Amino acid sequence: MTSALLLALAACGSKGVEYELRLVPIVPANQSPFSGLTRLELVIEPEAGAPTVIEVDQLTGSPLIDGLGELENVRIAVRGYTGDTLTAFGRSAPLSAADGDSLTVNVLVSETSGFGWTPGLDTKRAYAAAAPDGQGSFYIFGGVEKFGNSPAMLDTIERLDIGAPNTTLTTTPLSLTLPEALGGEDGATYTARAGLSATLLGGTAADAGKILLFGGIGQHGDAATITGSVALFDPASESFEVLESALIAQSEHRVVQNQVGDVLFFGGWTSGASDLIVPTSRVQRYERATRIVSRITGDLPGKGVYGAAASLGADGVLYCGGATWDSNGDWSPRDECLIVTNAGEMVDVAPMPEPRAHHAMVSVGEGLVLVTGGLNPSTRENIFGPEHRGTNTAWLYDASTDTWTDVGTMSNVRAWHVAAPLAGGGAVIAGGYSQAGLVWQTSDGKALACAELYTVEGGLEPVPGDEGCAPGDEVGALPDAVGYPAVAVDPSYGVLLVGGVDTTEAVSTGLALLASGEAD
């Protein structure tokens, strides 16, 4: 929805430049970010150099500003304070204003303490991939529209503009589909896939600013459609460049970009003998220098499925846990951990305090990783057997000492949830199930709309207003109760959660953004 507040920024005088820039704040339907503010600032952020901070009146907007000069590829941040606390935040996409211009720019402004909701996706999506473009937009790729006997796989792509949103905060479907892959029972090409990954490549290499898409499955239950397809999506032209395929096809893998910019793909499912879908304990790496995906020497613990991974910065990427099962299909969680160094070597490190599968891991500082929740059944059960209660434990791994520390408990038990780093430090933990099976099984009433925040200094606490959230509640911090939504993180704009699934039949169109809250 559109806020009634209009912020007018104009320049004239000492630099011989005159223009008018009108910022129209767009606010989430479930929030009132301008309520109760004691101070409101506009911050002009150039590509290089110090920002210009302008304090404005909330009712009349900004007065005429002398001496700004033309604006070239700058971003405008909106910062609202209640006392000394930053409580409202928004940032435009890069923009320019020259002499004589009259511009109107929409800017999403939301509360920093909780998720802002949009009306939702154009298409229901679970097992999709999402990534930012670093310029104020997020892209959502593929997924499953519905489950049941004939799951509907998707090849479509949607864009959500955060820096320059439309007034209804809806997504825009793109005219292109995912790139073709070859496989399936009849060997035909296909474009639809779920369980893929999407990673924005940073740095200054030739592929910087592009989104790396990898893997996924094109048809439910068809092992031949698990793909090793690798492609680069260019947000500037909204087009794909297909690269050489990986040696190992992977779906529902874990993906982490390490400190040097390479991208690691951990485990998941692949195609085995006799066209069976089997787990893989392999790790592959997209090397920026060669633009080729190659295998890392060594194997993950257990079967290589349902573990978790997160960056340790200079120490590499930490992977922990997962599941293993015997010839009867009876499973148990794992506690082993390893680091894949930035040079591509696999090193065993201290195990988690307890075994876990379907837990979440997230970087919360240099050499620090937070692990939350997961499944740890007391007895071995068949992988297609009964559901198990999630856990609410949280531990912090410190690479400098190779030790684990108990950091308290979450308000809810969780498995199949997500965790994402926050620009100001710490992490957000969201969604999941209070009870679930190892292989996709959930029943109505077990999904969570709840979210929690973690800081190294303050520990765990519910998102404000979410203290009473419980399994089965239709809404909480999130617009829907869902497990394993797609997650995309842009430090300049925030954490976006996309879709997810409540039951095997109910797929969500929910979109929720936790604003960056970055004050500098």
313-330 per-position pLDDT tens digit: 999 999 999 999 999 999
B/e letters for 381-408, b = 16+ CB within 10 Å, e = fewer, are bebebebbbbbbbbbbbebeeeebeebe
Length of the chain: 520
So what's the pLDDT on residue 18? Answer: 81
Q: Which of 93, 113, 88 is nearest to 103 (CA)?
A: 93
So what's the pLDDT on residue 182? Answer: 74
**What share of the chain in percent tops pLDDT 90?**
73
Looking at residue 113, its amino acid is S
Give CA–CA dist 249/263, Å, rounded. Answer: 15
**47 alpha carbon, distance to own chain's centre:** 25
pLDDT tops 60 at residue 426:
yes
pLDDT higher for 252 or 465?
Answer: 252
> Which tokens is 406 given?
């108990």
- Domain positions in the chain are 7-111, 116-515
pLDDT higher for 513 or 184?
Answer: 513
58-81 per-position pLDDT tens digit: 655 555 566 677 889 999 999 999
So what's the pLDDT on residue 1? Answer: 44
pLDDT higher for 439 or 460?
Answer: 460
Q: Is the dihedral of CA 114, 120, 126, 128 positive or negative?
A: negative
Q: How many CA atoms lie within 13 A of 238 on its CB side?
A: 15
The overall average pLDDT reported for the chain is 91
Give CA–CA dist 310/453, Å, rounded. Answer: 17
Give CA–CA dist 107/40, Å, rounded. Answer: 15
192-219 per-position pLDDT tens digit: 999 999 999 998 888 999 999 999 999 8
pLDDT tops 70 at residue 2:
no
Residue 262: C-alpha distances to residues 208, 212, 243, 284 (Å): 11, 11, 15, 10
So what's the pLDDT on residue 520? Answer: 46
Q: What is the mean pLDDT of residues 419-447?
A: 88
* Edge-to-edge strand ranges of the sheet holding 337-340: 308-311, 317-320, 337-340, 346-349
Indicate the helix (H) or strand (E) that contains 296.
Answer: strand 292-296
So what's the pLDDT on residue 415? Answer: 95
So what's the pLDDT on residue 398? Answer: 98
pLDDT tops 70 at residue 399:
yes
pLDDT higher for 108 or 65?
Answer: 108
Q: What is the mean pLDDT of residues 107-130?
A: 94
Give CA–CA dist 501/490, Å, rounded. Answer: 23
Give 7-111's CATH code, choosing from 3.40.50, 2.60.40, 1.10.150, 3.90.1200.
2.60.40
So what's the pLDDT on residue 19? Answer: 82
Q: What is the mean pLDDT of residues 14-22?
A: 73
Give CA–CA dist 254/238, Å, rounded. Answer: 25
pLDDT tops 50 at residue 13:
no
Residue 519: C-alpha distances to residues 42, 77, 137, 269, 471 (Å): 11, 9, 20, 41, 34
Domains 7-111 and 116-515 share a fold: no
332-382 per-position pLDDT tens digit: 999 999 999 999 999 999 999 999 999 999 999 999 999 999 999 988 888
> Which tokens is 88 given?
């409202």
Give CA–CA dist 367/340, Å, rounded. Answer: 13
The answer to pTM > 0.85 is yes
Distant-in-sequence, close-in-space partners of 77: CB < 8 Å, separation ≥ 6: 41, 42, 43, 45, 51, 89, 90, 91, 92
pLDDT tops 80 at residue 295:
yes
Residue 515: strand pairing partners? 494
Q: Is the dihedral of CA 203, 131, 158, 28 positive or negative?
A: negative
**How many C-beta neighbours within 10 Å does residue 79 have?**
23
pLDDT band at 184 (very low <50, low <70, confident <90, very high): low
Q: Which of 170, 53, 80 is nearest to 120 (CA)?
A: 170
So what's the pLDDT on residue 472? Answer: 85
pLDDT band at 12 (very low <50, low <70, confident <90, very high): low
So what's the pLDDT on residue 176? Answer: 96
Say which DSSP state 425 is in. Answer: S
Task: Answer for the pair 125, 485: CB distance below 8 angstroms, yes or no.
Answer: no
pLDDT tops 80 at residue 186:
no
Lowest-pLDDT choice from 18-22, 206-210, 265-269, 516-520: 516-520
- Top CATH class of 116-515 equals mainly beta
pLDDT band at 190 (very low <50, low <70, confident <90, very high): very high
So what's the pLDDT on residue 378? Answer: 85
Give CA–CA dist 418/432, Å, rounded. Answer: 7
Torsion of CA 165, 170, 172, 173, to 10 degrees: 160
So what's the pLDDT on residue 147? Answer: 81
Lowest-pLDDT choice from 65-69, 150-154, 227-231, 389-393: 65-69
